[in-house]
Amino acid sequence: MAQEEGGSLSEVRARVGASHGITELAHKQHFYECWAPDCDKDVAVLQYRAPRLAVDCLAQALSGPPQTALILDAARGTGLVAAELQARGFLQLHGVDGSPGMLEQAQGRGLYQHLSLCTLGQEPLPSPKGRLVCLTTRTNLSNLQYKEALEAAPDRLEQSREWEHLVAWPADRWELATSKLEAVPGTSDSDGFISSIIYLY
Ligand SMILES: C[S@@+](CC[C@H](N)C(=O)[O-])C[C@H]1O[C@@H](n2cnc3c(N)ncnc32)[C@H](O)[C@@H]1O
């Protein structure tokens, strides 16, 4: 899959759009492994604003100087979130991901103090979780099959009595949609972008 230049918008839409339909974990892991060398170029083509939007939300919620916060970036991919965090003074960054190829890309950034391979849902996180958790998910149509689960998520986590739901922040213009079918009519999604929601616990 490696390529000299970033693909055209239609190529990237086809590649990333196809991945949205993969539900089986091993198949998804294979996709991420093959995609790792091209991931940054492809998400640039899709005008992926997710890392900046998520870090905006997190930075507003965290009190205290950024240098004192230890951040675990889970399913961190190539480390785009780490680049945003570092730009805002967050320097203690740990990361985990289930793909060795993504791990290698993130290692190349030199921004994480500790990186490890970890498949979420199958293995425990290698670092203890702190007091604030930030989760994001796309709210485009192809993701709406998970709508019920997403809407229930804040309540479910709160019921465990270990988590307090702090913020559900809708975020527009998350990234370009991979197809017209992904856009939600009558919303900001109509301009070709999809939106998302950022949860803080
Ligand atoms: C689209 S990338 C997102 C990266 C980053 N969070 C960002 O917004 O730039 C998704 C990443 O999640 C990782 N991932 C997906 N499912 C995972 C799982 N169950 N355990 C660990 N990593 C996972 C993939 O390997 C991939 O690197």
pLDDT score of 137: 84
pLDDT-derived band at 125, boundaries 50, 70, 90? confident
Give φ, ψ of 100 to 5 degrees.
Answer: -60, -35
Average pLDDT, the chain: 85
- Residue 57, pLDDT score: 93
pLDDT band of 154, cuts 50, 70, 90: low
Give the confidence band of 2 by pLDDT, cuts at 50, 70, 90: very low
Ligand 1 pocket test, candidate residues 96, 97, 125, most atoms within 8 A of CB: 97
Q: 77 C-alpha vs ligand 1 centroid, how far in Å?
A: 5
Domain layout of the chain by residue ranges: 1-46, 48-200
Report pLDDT for 78. 97
> pLDDT value at position 4?
44
* Ramachandran angles phi, psi of 44, nearest 5°: -65, -40
Q: In this structure, what are the phi and psi dihedrals at residue 50, rounded to the nearest 5 degrees?
A: -55, -50
Q: What CATH fold (topology level) applies to the domain 48-200?
A: Rossmann fold (3.40.50)
Beta bridge partners of 196: 138, 171
User: 30-34, 104-108, 181-185: which has the minimum mean pLDDT?
Assistant: 181-185
Q: Whose CA is nearest to atom 10 of ligand 1?
A: 77
Least confidently predicted of 7-16, 62-71, 133-142, 158-167: 158-167
Give the Å distance between the CA of 32 and the centre of ligand 1.
8
Listing DSSP states for 126-177 in one string gives SS---S--EEEEE-SGGGGGGHHHHHHHHHHHHHTTS----EEEEEEEEEE-
Please report the atom of ligand 1 found closest to the CA of residue 29.
25
Look up residue 8 and give its DSSP letter: P
Q: Is any atom of ligand 1 closer than 6 Å to the C-beta of 82?
A: no
97 lines ligand 1 (CB under 6 A): yes
CA–CA separation, 191 and 91 (whole Å): 36
* Selected residue with higher pLDDT from 45 and 162: 45
Tell me the pLDDT band of 153, cut-offs 50, 70 and 90.
low
> Does residue 99's CB lie within 6 angstroms of at least one atom of ligand 1?
yes
- 73-80: average pLDDT: 95
E strands, the chain, are: 70-74, 92-97, 114-117, 134-138, 167-176, 193-200
